[in-house]
A = this chain, B = another copy of it.
Amino acid sequence: MEIKRPYLLFLGDAADPLAAKVGQGIVDWRPGNVVGQYRMENCNADMGIEDLSIAESVAKGAKTLVIGVANRGGIISDEWVKVLMEALDNGMDIAAGLHNKLNDIPELKKKAEEKGLNLYDVRHPTQTPPIADGKKREGKRLLAVGTDCSCGKMYTTLAIDKEMRERGMKSTFRATGQTGILITGSGISIDAVVADFLSGAVEELTPVNDADHWDVIEGQGSVYHPSFSGVTAGLIHGSQADALVLCHEPTRTHMRGLPHYALPTIEDTMETVLRFAVRTNPNVKFVGLSINTHKLSEEEATSYLKELEEKFGLPCVDPVRTGTAKIVDAL
């Protein structure tokens, strides 16, 4: 799956800026992928880019309308459908990462089929990946793992990929979740893959490449998250990572969604990940730690990162505060 670019970013009737965080991600990380934004009445988000009608965006070359906003109440409203139909009528594909599927709306599906256009529900993979074969593949791979879900793995890998490309290194960010897929236009929503094909999907996502090319792979879940560890295990074995980056949010007291589970320690998580990871790459190493210090003061953050660097003997960064240069230096 390769979503055609550039996009028109659909912000709909976003309740607030947070509801449009997918749109924000696209504008932050791949501004060149976007020609403008489409905002309905009552839209409380603004990406600071040009407001365009469907027709204006097509005139500027837009190929796909991308839904960059969460839908209110979990339904795709009639008002949205009206705009989406107009996009199809103007020859655009549509891509969304919503729980509800575009393909479940009969009139959209019918129109897209008639006009030979694509409706991408990136949260719902439609192809069956192969079973993993565990064979060594040329090229290098970096994977983000974490002490928990939602602790900065996507941000960290997008930032490392950006740093690498700015240095002229060969690098591709490999998205494993719906936001990352919409940002870059390709990837696979790994947690929606049938269990048997988990590692195979990751092998397919990160195929043979030049020996000096890095796949920078967005992680998911945590080996220690009781709900999602299977996903993480598949990512670790399928990626055959050469380099691992440990992501951590130091103020969190329990695992996301599970108040009855304390956060595991960084050391314990790293040790279990490594026991696992050596199975498909005996040379795998942790190359750095990426800490989300958002809730710490500048002073606290600086001293915490320094403390971890001394403890683990590895570069420790906060991709927002410090950038990821130190980790890329160490590769």
Contact = CB atoms under 8 A, between A and B. Distances in A.
A208 interface: no
A276 B272 contact: yes
Given A191-B195, A230-B230, 10 more contacts: A133-B226, A134-B226, A134-B227, A134-B258, A192-B196, A195-B234, A198-B230, A229-B234, A271-B275, A272-B272
Given A191-B195, A258-B134, A231 B229 contact: no
Interface in A164-217: 190-196, 198-200
8 contacts: A132-B226, A133-B227, A134-B260, A195-B230, A224-B279, A226-B237, A227-B237, A233-B233
B196 A194 contact: no
A87 interface: no
A131 B275 CA distance: 26
Instruction: Give the interface size class of chain A.
Output: 35 or more
A39 to B, nearest CB: 32
A233 B224 CA distance: 10
A15 B280 CA distance: 38
A41 B279 CA distance: 48
A135 interface: yes
Nearest to A132: B227
Interface string A104-138: 00000000000000000000000000011111000
Contacts of A223: 233, 276
* 8 interchain residue pairs of minimum CB distance: A134-B226, A230-B234, A233-B233, A198-B230, A230-B230, A191-B196, A132-B227, A230-B233
B224 A199 contact: no
Contact of A258 (B133, B192, B194): B133
Contacts of A264: 279
Contact of A194 (B192, B279, B280): B192
A135 B131 CA distance: 32
Contacts of A236: 229
Contacts of A135: 260
Contact of A200 (B227, B260, B271): B227
Contacts of A275: 271-272, 275
Given A133-B258, A260-B134, A229 B195 contact: no
A312 interface: no
B199 A195 contact: no
A264 B275 CA distance: 12
A71 interface: no
